[in-house]
Structure 1
Amino acid sequence: APNYAAGKDMVLGFKRYFKNKIVGEVYTQLGQQDYQAEISQLRAANPKAVFVFYPGGMGIQFLKQYAQAGLRGQVPLYSVYTVDEISLLAVKEAALGQFETRYWSPDLKNEANQKYVTDYRKKFGKTPSFYGAQSYDGIMLIDSAVRAVKGDLTNKKGMIAAMRQVDYKSTRGPYKYNVNHFPIENFYLLKAVQDPGGELMMQIQRTVFEGHKDSYAGECPMKW
């Protein structure tokens, strides 16, 4: 993971739930593009699996170099914010078989998500990313609050109360908010696959957490 706050937070979150032996923990420069030294170090450690957090361009370069080193298919790669609908367009087959954990997937079976994905593909000719789904949910949540106060945007308390009710159909399915305003929601293990038509996409393998609460809710002074 990159050597900055988010990178360390992601590794800490992984270690909180992974109880087997960790043979190595490596932090790289933020924005780094060449990972040959780290990949050589990884190969020498001979792990059974690898966990990474490399969002954006860092992830694209890491995935390409990981595959070029011959590790794809040999050492399973598990990630967050790394193997997604955006990086798939750039790395293509280099991401096949790799894993990602998150709260949304284009193949989630609920009415709102199926309509969103179908309409998006029809309009833009490609599968939406989870960033898009997240933005769509945000807009629909705000819309539900505006409707609840009948358009009176000065009624801030009313809007906040309405948003707490999560009175809209989310692409991630039903969820609710914890006392610290973080969602209580499901998380899924996804895998990069190729569908019969040749499109690369993320596909749910199993549910990792049901109704997961973030680990810091009890420490947060905000109680609604």
Structure 2
Amino acid sequence: MRQQLKWAALAVACGMFAHPAAAQEKLKIGLILTLSGPAASLGAQVRDGFNLAVKDLGGKMGGRDVEVVVSDDELKPDTAVTKVKGLLERDKVDFVVGPIFSNILQAIHKPVTDTKTFLISPNAGPSSYAGKNCSPFFYVTSYQNDQVHEILGKVAQDRGYKRVYVMVPNYQAGKDSAAGFRLDYKGEIVEESYVPLGTLDFQVELSKISSLKPDAVFTFMPGGMGVSLVKQFKQAGLADQIPVLSAFTVDESTLPAQQDAAVGMFGGADWAPDLNNPQSKKFVAGYEAAYNSVPGTYAMQGYDAALLIDSAVKAVKGDLANKDAVATALKKADFASLRGNFKINVNGYPIQDFYLTKVAKRPDGKFQTEIVQKVFENYGDRYAKECVPGN
């Protein structure tokens, strides 16, 4: 009898120690980003911003050690699907963070959310998932695509530009950008050019701009496309004649390559490196020290994606089994965003402030975007009303 009691006590003790061990199982997060080709700098900023947040959190979220698994989607939808399935099935990640481009998001959204795995987008925010197709497993730390472009439309309208030339890539985010610009701009659009994604030669479009002489150009050209366009725009002698209102064309991911050619060009954003709040200042200093480059919105949104996940894991005390509880915690977004004002709307997209920015050269020779004015405050997207929570 004594021996039986001894073994029983040992079994209880083992059980007591088994639970904390299970609780300390690593939290696995898969990043799927564009890390090769002309747009690689965008994915690199998100990756670096996310990793910096993990480091600042002491390598833990909600008391659990964090393991980050990184995949390159190569800006190819088929490749992205294969890679994300690897993250889910082989690596068994608890969260997927990514991607950069909306066409990649459209490819991976269903494979991820169908498995009831939470997908956090640090950049892509197409209209297709903001309304009736919203999902309790999808959250965005950037914006709904239209919104950033809407900033430029309002600025063009307020500044009295009568004739504007619009030039965007021919894919979902490009179409969203043109639609966003048109929301507040009521003047004449002299031409709408849709160029293939990945275009690096803009001579045809620049000839049209030179001929049409618009009051301003609105463009959305991310990554290497933006680098080429800005350099060619400057070389064509147009930079001193026609104001450029852009989104993701002149930002911290492209400025190291564009440099002086981009100075004075305008952008729209949810944040800039000179935003004056303590958490943002600390982040900028930490990022520059770690990576010797100026962080852009991609890095900021990657950092905030990590903070969002951390806030949810903390709220459920590290136990991710109850998906409804995790979703509720994600919607609460109980963390101090680097951008200041930040809430999650009913559709999983943010409510936040938006700014007009302008490219400047710093005294240390580096280039950054700086805030000119706040254009929208506590602004949620127009599709949220179509979202039925719990879909």
Structure 1 length as normaliser, TM-score?
A: 0.95
Distance 2:373 2:247 in 1: 15
Distance 1:12 1:223 in 2: 28
Partner of 1:15: 182
Task: Report the alpha carbon displacement of residue 19 of structure 1 after superposing the two structures with TM.
Answer: 1.8
Partner of 2:383: 216
> Could you list the runs of 5+ residues in structure 2 that have no partner in the other structure?
1-167
Whether contact under 8 Å (1:179, 1:223) holds in the other structure is no
Partner of 2:356: 189
> Higher relative contact order at CA 8 Å, sep ≥6: structure 1 or structure 2?
2
User: Aligned AA for 1:204?
Assistant: I
Matched, 1:145 2:340: no
Matched, 1:159 2:326: yes
Distance 2:278 2:323 in 1: 30
SS at match of 2:334: coil
User: Aligned AA for 1:191?
Assistant: K
Q: Which moved more, 1:154-163 or 1:5-14?
A: 154-163
SS at match of 2:254: helix
Distance 1:209 1:9 in 2: 18
Distance 1:218 1:159 in 2: 23
User: Aligned AA for 1:85?
Assistant: E
Bigger share in strand: 2
Partner of 2:68: none
Whether contact under 8 Å (1:101, 1:190) holds in the other structure is yes
Matched, 1:74 2:241: yes
Partner of 2:368: 201
Tell me how many residue pairs correspond in the alignment. 224
Q: Deviations over 1:135-182 (max 9, x none)?
A: 100001110111111111213222211121221111111211211111
User: Aligned AA for 2:371?
Assistant: I
Partner of 2:91: none
Partner of 2:58: none
Distance 1:158 1:68 in 2: 55
Aligned-CA RMSD value: 1.4
Distance 2:245 2:332 in 1: 34
Structure 2 length as normaliser, TM-score?
A: 0.56
Structure 1 runs of 4+ aligned residues shifted over 4 Å read none
SS at match of 1:24: strand
Task: Report the alpha carbon displacement of residue 220 of structure 1 after superposing the two structures with TM.
Answer: 2.7
Matched, 1:57 2:213: no
Whether contact under 8 Å (2:341, 2:378) holds in the other structure is no
Distance 1:109 1:165 in 2: 24
User: Aligned AA for 2:249?
Assistant: T
User: Aligned AA for 1:22?
Assistant: I
Partner of 1:27: 194
Task: Report the alpha carbon displacement of residue 20 of structure 1 after superposing the two structures with TM.
Answer: 2.1
Task: Report the alpha carbon displacement of residue 219 of structure 1 after superposing the two structures with TM.
Answer: 2.2
Whether contact under 8 Å (1:52, 1:80) holds in the other structure is yes
Partner of 1:104: 271
SS at match of 1:93: helix
Distance 1:204 1:4 in 2: 29
Whether contact under 8 Å (1:73, 1:97) holds in the other structure is no
Task: Report the alpha carbon displacement of residue 37 of structure 1 after superposing the two structures with TM.
Answer: 1.0
Partner of 1:122: 289
Distance 1:222 1:161 in 2: 11
> Could you list the runs of 5+ residues in structure 1 that have no partner in the other structure?
none
Change (3 A) 1:223 1:111: farther
SS at match of 1:190: strand
SS at match of 1:78: strand
